[in-house]
Amino acid sequence: MANLDQTCNVQISFNSMINAYATSGLYSEAKSIFQEMQDCGHAPDSFSYLALIRAYTEAKLYTEAEEAIQMMLNIGLIRACSRIT
């Protein structure tokens, strides 16, 4: 049980950092944390992707936002995100 709690805490921490950078308009940093999350073996969830997409759209990087949406479609997360559909 402790391992599951730790995994959840790590996921929440990564998502919080991605969201904070997105909110601050720092899309490059948000993307970097998103990549670091994956490099550490943690799969991004719908909250991770939505924060990254928000960072891209705030920076008017619509192609990158569309690519992130496509990644969500490819792994089946898009159904969990009613804001995108």
pLDDT tens per residue across span 34-56: 999 999 999 999 999 999 999 99
- Has residue 85 been placed in a domain? no
- Has residue 24 been placed in a domain? yes
Whole domain around residue 11: which residue ranges?
2-80
- Has residue 57 been placed in a domain? yes
Encoded amino acid at 34, one letter: F
Average pLDDT, the chain: 87
- Has residue 40 been placed in a domain? yes
Number of structural domains (the chain) is: 1
**Between 7 and 23, residue with greater pLDDT:** 23
- Has residue 31 been placed in a domain? yes
- Has residue 15 been placed in a domain? yes
What's this model's pTM, rounded to 2 decimal places?
0.80
53-62 as b/e: b if 16+ CB within 10 A: bbbbbbbebe
Residue 78's Cβ-side half-sphere holds a number of Cα atoms within 13 Å equal to 13
